[in-house]
Structure 1
């Protein structure tokens, strides 16, 4: 199926690694022109260079998404370079304190993750929407998380930030809908990758005195499909919600978790 994304301009935050890099590669493969935003441009450049070898036009922009002025500058530079903005995919985010109860979490820890996961998306959306409104069309995809749908002990600050992002997404969907703009949220569960393999799995293996392979199997057993999601699974969900085939879908939370949050 042709997703009709060739030539579209996509702004992607957090493109340097993991899900962000997978999203970057996926949109490049569909023929999009890309603006890649992040604080560490040196870390982004290898991904940008990779997609450029396939003919993708990729602009790398220094941008701290928690700084509204920096977001305004980056989006203005994107518009100047490409003439329009069709898609925004907010991948950038953080995990916050892990294993701390709510009462053990400090104000600074709480503020930091809420600022990144909520304000960061608000800033980029706020910067992009005037251009999309003028065009009469646009797609925004925010990457949330299933802990923002069910909550999680020991992850209060992260969970709160992702619950808040859902509210931001739904409100913007209602406000931007009359202008032909879809706003949705993809909610990954556990994603197989460096953090999962190097931190989550070894910690479970040590705690339960089992092998790392057994720890992976324990995680997979939590999901209806009995497998852990990949970065590509998340990227494909973002492609779907950014494309014309999802034209009548807005304001949703789409879990990509093998069947955990909703079952």
Structure 2
């Protein structure tokens, strides 16, 4: 299927590594030019270089996503460089405190992750939407998480931030829909990336006295499809929702987790 993304400009936050890099390069492969923003420009540059080798035009800018004025300035610069922003993909976010109950979580820890995971997306959406509204089209994809669909003990602050992002996504979809703009959310489950291999599996293996391979099997058995999500699975979901072929889909939460959150 032709996703009809070739020639579009996608502004992507958090493109430097792991799932973010995979999503970014998937858009490049589909023919999108890229405006890449994040805190660490040096970490983004290798991804930008790979996209340029595909023949794409790419800009890279540092951005504090929690700063409303900084986000506006970066979006304005990207719009000036490319003429328009067709797609916004909000990947950047944080994990917050792990293994803490709600009453053990400090106010600072709570505020920090909620600000990053919610206000960061709010700031970029707020900045790109006027241009999209003026053209009468545009697509926004926010990357949330399945802990924002079912909750998770020991991850209260993170879950709260992702639940809030879902509400923001749905409200923005209702507000922007009459202007021809789609706003959706992709919710990855556990992804077989660096953190999964170096932290999650070793922790579970040590706790249960089993091998890493056995720990991976234990994780997979939690999902209907009995397999762990890969970066490419999340990237494909983002591509679909960001493309014109998904023109009649807006305000949805799409879990990409092998059937953990929805079943």
Decide: shared fold, TM above 0.5. yes
Q: Which residue is equivalent to 2:200? A: 200
Structure 1 position 68 matched with structure 2 position 68: yes
SS for the counterpart of 2:93 is coil
SS for the counterpart of 1:240 is helix
Report how far residue 18 of structure 1 moved: 1.0
Where has structure 1 moved over 4 Å in runs of 4 or more?
Answer: none
Task: Deviation per CA, 1:94-118: give whole Å up to 9, x if none.
Answer: 1100000000000010001000000
Written as runs of structure 1 = structure 2, the 5 A alignment for 1:89-104 is 89-104=89-104
Counterpart CA distance in 1 for 2:236 and 2:70 is: 29
Counterpart CA distance in 1 for 2:3 and 2:72 is: 29
SS for the counterpart of 2:171 is helix
Counterpart CA distance in 2 for 1:58 and 1:23 is: 15
Written as runs of structure 1 = structure 2, the 5 A alignment for 1:83-162 is 83-162=83-162
Report how far residue 245 of structure 1 moved: 1.2
Counterpart CA distance in 1 for 2:204 and 2:220 is: 13
Task: Deviation per CA, 1:34-71: give whole Å up to 9, x if none.
Answer: 00000100000011011111101110011111111110
Q: Which residue is equivalent to 2:36? A: 36
SS for the counterpart of 1:258 is coil
Written as runs of structure 1 = structure 2, the 5 A alignment for 1:226-237 is 226-237=226-237
Q: How many residues align?
A: 263
Task: Deviation per CA, 1:175-227: give whole Å up to 9, x if none.
Answer: 00000000000000000000000000000001111100000000000000000
Counterpart CA distance in 1 for 2:173 and 2:188 is: 20
Q: Which residue is equivalent to 2:20? A: 20
- Please list every run of 5 or more consecutive structure 2 residues that lacks an aligned counterpart in the other structure: none
SS for the counterpart of 1:80 is helix
Report how far residue 155 of structure 1 moved: 0.2
Counterpart CA distance in 1 for 2:255 and 2:204 is: 24
Q: Which residue is equivalent to 1:80? A: 80
User: What is the root-mean-square deviation in Å for CA atoms of aligned residues?
Assistant: 0.5
Structure 1 position 177 matched with structure 2 position 177: yes
- Please list every run of 5 or more consecutive structure 1 residues that lacks an aligned counterpart in the other structure: none
Counterpart CA distance in 2 for 1:184 and 1:139 is: 8
Counterpart CA distance in 1 for 2:187 and 2:55 is: 30
